[in-house]
Amino acid sequence: MPYHLLSIQSHVAFGHVGNCAAVFPLQRQGFEVTAIHTVQFSNHTGYEQFKGDVFPPTHLRTVLDGVEQCGALDNMSALLSGYLGDQNTGEVVLDALARIRARQPNALYCCDPVMGDVGCGFYVQDGLPEWIRDNAIRHADMITPNQFELSFLADHHISSLNDAIKAAQMVRKRGPKQVLLTSLDVKELAEDEIGMLLDNEDGCYLVVTPKLDFKEILSGAGDATSALFLAQLLKGAAPEQALQFVAASVYALLKQTAQSGERELQLIDAQDAMLNPSQLFQLKKIL
């Protein structure tokens, strides 16, 4: 019997971000995914133009009620959340988590604290970053921030490896057992390198991969990373082994995307390489 997951995040008609980047990798690994969309846009907001709507919390709660009434919450193994937009939507996520854990007390919650990035700052409504910091992460089993997001959550500037470790440890003390920093760019790494860092009670682990060049800012990689990491843990992988696999998997996806010259993640074309990466990168325990 496959694992069942609930994923609450954004949706686009074209491209691969939010649920459109997370659901397919989960399904390809045998997971049944119930997806609730926080927005419905034509394409991601990095383009010059986009059309669509942000769904109000009342709409999301109505959909959640329907999902519950048809029995889809009865066997949920995990909840994955991504782009929320505002804190009222966040409250719907915590409501969903409460309903799931009332049935499955050991269900995991993976919180991807989508709020901003280096170079562009925050791109969510005022108040949501603080709400995630003060509310969401204390309910989460794992969080998957980028470097900008981790720095905010910890209120700690990150320019070195030690800064990143300290920030991850500070955030982990607030509740999550696993802190996966999905994009580490610090002075200890070469200009053509990027890292992923995992901090948990057993230590701190680092995987470094080549940094790839893209003509446009690429969106959706973090959404896929969160889904892949959660999937590995649900399948029984040790967290550090999940880190090593996910780093290789995401690199394979990004490499094929870079080679294509396309602006969107090549999630379909790269699916086999993503799930069976040919190149693993060294896993280092750094603490």
Average pLDDT over residues 80-85: 95
Which one is predicted more confidently, 46 or 112? 112
Please compute the mean of the pLDDT values over residues 54-80 and round it to a whole number: 98
- Please return the burial class of 1, using the count of CB atoms within 10 Å of its CB with bins 0-12, 13-18 and 19+: exposed
DSSP three-state, residue 201: coil
Percent of the chain with pLDDT over 70: 100
Statement: residue 122 has pLDDT above 90: yes
DSSP state of 199: E
Domain chopping of the chain, boundaries? 4-182+218-242
pLDDT in tens, 24-51: 999 999 999 999 999 999 999 999 999 9
Residue 114 has pLDDT above 90, yes or no: yes
Is pLDDT above 90 for 119? no
Q: What is the mean pLDDT of residues 94-106?
A: 98
Q: How far is CA 217 from CA 38, 40, 117, 145, 256, in A?
A: 22, 21, 11, 17, 15
Could you report the per-residue pLDDT of 134-175, keeping only the tens digit for each?
999 999 999 999 999 999 999 999 999 999 999 999 999 999
The answer to whether residue 17 scores a pLDDT higher than 80 is yes
Fold topology of 4-182+218-242: UDP-N-acetylmuramoyl-L-alanine:D-glutamate ligase (3.40.1190)
pLDDT at 264: 98
pLDDT greater than 90 at residue 1 = no
Query: Three-class SS of residue 125?
Result: coil
Q: Which DSSP string corresponds to the chain?
A: ---EEEEEEEEESSS-STHHHHHHHHHHTT-EEEEEEEEEESS-TTSS---EEEPPHHHHHHHHHHHHHTTTTTTEEEEEE----SHHHHHHHHHHHHHHHHH-TT-EEEE---SEETTTEE-S-TTHHHHIIIIIHHH-SEE---HHHHHHHHT---SSHHHHHHHHHHHHTTS-SEEEEEEE--TTS-TTEEEEEEEETTEEEEEEEEPPP-SS---SHHHHHHHHHHHHHHTT--HHHHHHHHHHHHHHHHHHHHHHT-SS--TTTTHHHHHS-S----EEE--
What does pLDDT average to over the chain?
97
Confidence (pLDDT) at 211 = 97
Is the Cβ–Cβ distance between 117 and 73 less than 8 Å?
A: no
* Average confidence (pLDDT) over 184-204: 98
**What's residue 7's pLDDT?**
99
Read off the pLDDT band of 85 (50, 70, 90). confident
pLDDT (average), residues 57-69: 98
pLDDT digits (tens, 9 = 90+) for 209-264: 999 999 898 999 999 999 999 999 999 999 999 999 999 999 999 999 999 999 99
273 token code pair? 């390489």
